[in-house]
Each structure stands twice: as structure tokens, then as C-alpha cells.
Amino acid sequence: MTQASHTVGRHLLADLSGISAPLLRDSGALESLLRAAARAAGATVLGSHFHHFGAGGGVTGVVLLAESHLSLHTWPETGFAAADIFMCGRCDPMVAIEVLLAALEPTERRVEVVLRGAAAVERA
């Protein structure tokens, strides 16, 4: 069990469709949303960086956590957003994704959960 600490956390990949285009262009609102999702999950925000591509373009952004990160990349022209939430320690990424889903209101979603570091643990 010497490598138990290699189970570092859960990594959620969320493909979200059918989201309001104006929301997917609102860099400030999306940055606030991801920071709020991080806090709701019990994480410590170290910083965030969001970029809006301008005009009708989307947003690309990341929130750096003491417990890993969240990211969101949006395509307003198709109502699509790709989120990932990686959290270790006592944080719960399922809480964070629920905050995102409640605000973005996608009509369709695909959420994949990957256990990071699991291979090392399986060998222990």
C-alpha cells in the first residue's frame, strides 16, 4: 500500500450541449461561475485566467486550485462547452459539476469520471 497516495483524485470531463450562446460569450460570468463551483466543492482557488476571443467568439479559461484545477472552453456558435474538473484531497468534483450544470442549463450532457493515479494503486 506504499503507493496509495497515487490515487490523487477524480477528474471529470463534461461535454455540454444546448447552452445559451450569450452566456457562452460572457467571460466574466463564466469566471465567477467556475470560481464559485470550486469554492462549493471545498477547494482553494489560487488564481484564474479567462480569455474572450471577442465579437461572436467563445471563452477559454482555467481556475488553478491548491487541489488541481477547473477549466471551461466554449463554442457559442454551436451552444457547446467542454469543462474539466480535477480535484484531489477532500474536495468533491461532483458538487462543482452540479453548480456548473445548474447555471449553464445544457440540454444534453456527457460526463466522464476518470480516477487519476489508479494504476499505481492497483499495483500496490
**Per-residue x/- marks for a second copy, 81-100, CB under 8 A?**
-x-x-x-x------------
Least distance (Å) between residue 60 CB and a second copy: 6
Amino acid letter for position 82 = A
Rama region for 122: left / alpha / beta (φ>0; ψ in -120 to 50; rest): alpha
Helix (H) or strand (E) holding 65: strand 59-65
Dihedral sign from CA coordinates of 13, 15, 20, 23: positive
Distance of CA 2 to the CA centre of its chain: 30
**Per-residue x/- marks for a second copy, 55-74, CB under 8 A?**
-----xxx-xxx-xx-x-x-
Tell me the number of residues near a second copy by CB under 8 A. 40
Give catalytic residue positions: 68, 73, 88
Beta strands 45-52; 9-17: pairing state: unpaired
- Footprint of a second copy on this chain (CB under 8 A)? 3, 5-6, 8, 11, 13, 15, 17, 46-47, 49, 51, 53, 60-62, 64-66, 68-69, 71, 73, 75, 77-78, 80, 82, 84, 86, 88, 108, 110, 112, 114, 116-120
